Homo-oligomer: A and B are copies of this chain.
């Protein structure tokens, strides 16, 4: 498992090093099919060049792990902080986010040398630091690993967006690189079924012990009324029915801000969908492909997810409902993740028992599921002191919670309590829809 150990606070030096090596190697493996030119471009302000991700994740270890080492280490290149700090005001000034794609230097080779130099230093640190020195940054070290996993997902989504911006519609790994998906089950072609969950005062959030992001805690109680979730995500076939029913032209299904977003952006379908001679295709990391009717619909904004749900007579789940369902159904964090290297959501596989109505399928992997919950702090949440307090807390406004991970998330990175968040207009992540309803 390439991510084994990323949540384990108890690893010894050997274990930390092995885990570090695996995570760092995974990042580079993701980039290995890229041409040098692919590393450079920034196809929109929200996306970053692949080489920026490679460098930024290294800067993270330099800044939050190595720089705390007694005696200290001069930065590999003192100018890199300005280039590769993402948003940490406490660390200093930085280049504007939408200018990351204007930088041809450092070159890709230099960035890899930078990574390598940081790797050497991290290993040296693991070898030579005193125990108390190691313990003092252990949490930041583990955070750095999880942070790098987040950027692994962003590399996938940003590379996809960059290739899609190209009229040549290039494939990420060339012809023949595509991985076949598992045999689909019948579940995807029939109507969704409802899986019911009882209400009650429920513990929500992470209980510590292993690694979790600060925004997953504190664990606390919420009153969750009875509810039901659909047994699988909404499929392309279903979403197409919405589209063909005039869904994109009927304001009654849309939030007001969503309707404006649709109009301003000219949305007539999910991102990456295009119609040619009556047939729908979507752009994937393997190029343009016919739309798979049984695959979960993907690359929809919160607004589209919400409009679809209204059209379907249902609603999105709250994040407390989603977490409750994940916990109560005992769903295992397994499925179509980054490790399967498909980089595309798959129809619910036949290995899923159609008889089981106790557990929703595909809660984990395939597509991030928009909830209806705005991203807010849990009761009692306090950002950490210092720069790492900026990691999550300052973004708790104007964003919506997504749950469950996607086909671009490392499996070891995801938990039932994991809170992802994006602005409601975002579409370039692998974001999909699961319906919910009151019971």
Q: Which residues of A contact B (CB under 8 A)?
A: 35-43, 79, 82-83, 87, 89-90, 95, 99, 101-108, 162-163, 165-168, 170, 201, 220-223, 225, 251-252, 254-259, 302-303, 372-374, 376-377, 379-380, 389-390, 394-398, 424, 438
Asked if residues B379 and A103 are in contact (CB atoms below 8 Å), the reply is no
Chain B nearest Cβ from A268, distance in angstroms: 18
Chain B nearest Cβ from A392, distance in angstroms: 10
Asked if residues B105 and A252 are in contact (CB atoms below 8 Å), the reply is no
Which of B43, B104, B257, B380 is close to A397, meaning CB atoms less than 8 Å apart?
B257
Which of B107, B163, B170, B395 is close to A37, meaning CB atoms less than 8 Å apart?
B107
- With a CB–CB cut-off of 8 A, which chain B residues contact A42? 102
- With a CB–CB cut-off of 8 A, which chain B residues contact A376? 372-374
**CA–CA, A373 and B77, complex, Å:** 43
Asked if residues B106 and A168 are in contact (CB atoms below 8 Å), the reply is yes
For A93, the closest partner residue in chain B by CB is B167
- The 10 lowest CB-CB distance pairs between A and B, nearest first, are A374-B374, A37-B104, A89-B251, A223-B223, A38-B104, A256-B394, A36-B36, A40-B40, A102-B165, A255-B397
Chain B nearest Cβ from A102, distance in angstroms: 5
- Are A89 and B252 also in contact (CB < 8 A) when A41-B104, A105-B166, A376-B373 are? yes
Asked if residues B397 and A99 are in contact (CB atoms below 8 Å), the reply is no
- With a CB–CB cut-off of 8 A, which chain B residues contact A35? 104-105, 107
**CA–CA, A33 and B95, complex, Å:** 26
Instruction: Pick from A40, A225, A372, A380 the residue with the most CB of B within 10 Å.
Output: A40
Asked if residues A396 and B104 are in contact (CB atoms below 8 Å), the reply is no
For A387, the closest partner residue in chain B by CB is B252
**CA–CA, A259 and B394, complex, Å:** 10
Chain B nearest Cβ from A59, distance in angstroms: 14
- With a CB–CB cut-off of 8 A, which chain B residues contact A167? 79, 82-83, 95, 103
**CA–CA, A394 and B380, complex, Å:** 30
Asked if residues B397 and A258 are in contact (CB atoms below 8 Å), the reply is yes
For A94, the closest partner residue in chain B by CB is B167
Which of B99, B251, B377, B397 is close to A424, meaning CB atoms less than 8 Å apart?
B397
- With a CB–CB cut-off of 8 A, which chain B residues contact A40? 37, 40-41, 104
Chain B nearest Cβ from A23, distance in angstroms: 26
28 intermolecular pairs with C-beta atoms under 8 Å apart: A35-B107, A36-B37, A37-B105, A37-B108, A41-B101, A41-B103, A42-B102, A79-B167, A83-B167, A90-B252, A99-B165, A101-B101, A103-B165, A103-B166, A104-B166, A105-B166, A105-B168, A201-B201, A222-B223, A255-B394, A255-B395, A255-B397, A256-B390, A256-B397, A257-B395, A302-B397, A373-B376, A397-B424
Chain B nearest Cβ from A30, distance in angstroms: 16
* Known pairs A89-B251, A380-B438 / 17 extra A-B pairs, C-beta < 8 Å: A35-B105, A36-B107, A37-B104, A37-B105, A41-B102, A41-B104, A79-B167, A79-B168, A89-B259, A103-B165, A103-B168, A105-B166, A201-B201, A201-B223, A255-B396, A256-B394, A302-B397
**CA–CA, A258 and B254, complex, Å:** 26
For A35, the closest partner residue in chain B by CB is B107
**CA–CA, A201 and B101, complex, Å:** 51
